[in-house]
Amino acid sequence: MQFILNGKTVKIDPVDPTQTLNDYLREDAGLTGTKICCGIAVCRACTVAVQDSPGLTPEPTRSCITPLVALEGKSITTVEGLAKGGELHPLQKAFLENFSFQCGYSGPGFLMASYCLLDRLRLKPISKDDVEGAIQDAVGQHICRCTGYVRYHNAIRQVILQTPGLTI
Ligand code: FES
Ligand code: FES
């Protein structure tokens, strides 16, 4: 099978039909930024961004329940793929500035879900009044055992409001 991982083409042969995307990322690709916690689709710590085809917005995807074989031809972005040219992504900077995380375990999931939200807003900007609801829709089901919810929301709101073209 073949897919794109953080901008690079990956070919795998043979493919283990029982392997999850999370196991592949962490154990085979060495990308341990994507976390594993509940393993049963509840906490969303394992969220990555998956784009079905070029031009479509990436969707937040729980890697713990996604079989690797389901990624044929798709493009996956993990937290390791966010920084470009040594520069952190604006969301990463905002998470740091707002002290959004403590242990950090939930951070990559929050990052990748909000990364997908930014991409959606680029195509379909929303009014400033709707920002809070959009953030809640994007990350409201993510669990942070360190209870950094307010600071995560603050950081995401800051990036949305400061990035031209995301709000109208
Ligand atoms: S590890 Fe909890 S949803 Fe995937
Ligand atoms: S920062 Fe520790 S679980 Fe969220």
pLDDT above 90 coverage of the chain, percent: 98
Q: What is the mean pLDDT of residues 153-163?
A: 98
CA 139 / ligand 1 centre spacing (Å): 13
The verdict on the CB of residue 148 being under 6 Å from ligand 2 is: yes
Structural domain tally of the chain?
Answer: 2
Q: What is the pLDDT of residue 32?
A: 98
Q: What is the mean pLDDT of residues 57-72?
A: 98
Q: Do 95 and 75 lie in a common domain? A: no
The enclosing domain of 133 has a CATH number of: 1.10.150.120
Residue 130: domain span:
90-162
Supply the DSSP string of the chain, one letter for each residue: -EEEETTEEEE-SS--TT-BHHHIIIIIS--TTS--SSSSSSS-TTEEEEESSTTSPPEEEETTSSBGGGGTT-EEE-GGGT-BTTBPPHHHHHHHHTT--SS-TTHHHHHHHHHHHHHHHHHS-B-GGGHHHHHHHHHTT---TT--HHHHHHHHHHHHHHSTTSB-
CA 138 / ligand 2 centre spacing (Å): 17
Q: Do 133 and 154 lie in a common domain? A: yes
Q: Do 95 and 32 lie in a common domain? A: no
- 96 found inside a domain: yes
Q: What is the mean pLDDT of residues 31-50?
A: 98
- 59 found inside a domain: yes
User: For residue 50, what pLDDT band results from cuts at 50, 70 and 90?
Assistant: very high
Q: What would the pLDDT profile of 121-154 be if each residue is shown by its tens digit?
A: 999 999 999 999 999 999 999 999 999 899 999 9
